[in-house]
Chain A
């Protein structure tokens, strides 16, 4: 069955960087793009960007341009999201999700809580 398993919770100081992983299984890794979406405490969903695991091509939301980098390791069927220059407002749960048919996000990881605090 399709699974996206994310790395564990992180606590970071303001100004630091965080790198979250998302390991895919149950399907051919290179055939589906992966999105990243975050959710601040008690808030809605915010799209961050998308990566094509086949060629590595990426597109980022304007709000995160210059601070977020999506990469992949095809040998490990894993996608990574790195966010730099962290501030308190970046405290959120970060989700990876599989793209389905350029229409929607059909499978989601369990989420990774990132807390930014001094």
Chain B
């Protein structure tokens, strides 16, 4: 089973700043199977990025994904107030589908 480790656990930033979130896999994975989700309190996760770098439908271009092998990154170029949330990376190659532990982006 592939383990995904996200860092940092919490990122404290101000609106307008750039956020860089990391997701490291325990072994090399295909980029096709790496996705990112955003979750706000009391809501279901929302798909942001699939195939490591392709934005899902309706996702603003301030969100971008990159990486390959074992190291992947989600970047938010300029944080908007609505971007403060928890972000999860996910590896799709069931069984099982695995998720990272999440990174919380909070307002500084």
Contacts and interface: CB of A to CB of B under 8 A. Distances in A.
A46 B45 CA distance: 12
Nearest to A61: B96
Contact of B47 (A50, A102, A105): A105
A6 B16 CA distance: 36
A33 to B, nearest CB: 10
A53 B39 CA distance: 26
Contact of A106 (B56, B94, B99, B101): B56
A105 to B, nearest CB: 6
Contacts of A100: 47, 50
A50 B88 contact: no
Interface string B32-72: 11010100000011110011000010000000000000000
Main secondary structure of the interface of A (DSSP, over half): strand
Contacts of B47: 100, 104-106
Interface residues of A, number: 25
A38 to B, nearest CB: 11
Given A47-B96, A62-B95, A104-B56, 8 more contacts: A44-B102, A45-B88, A47-B97, A47-B98, A49-B95, A103-B33, A103-B50, A108-B44
Interface of A: 35, 37, 44-47, 49-50, 59-62, 95, 97, 100-106, 108-111
Interface of B: 32-33, 35, 37, 44-47, 50-51, 56, 88, 90, 92, 94-102
5 contacts: A45-B99, A50-B97, A59-B95, A104-B56, A110-B44
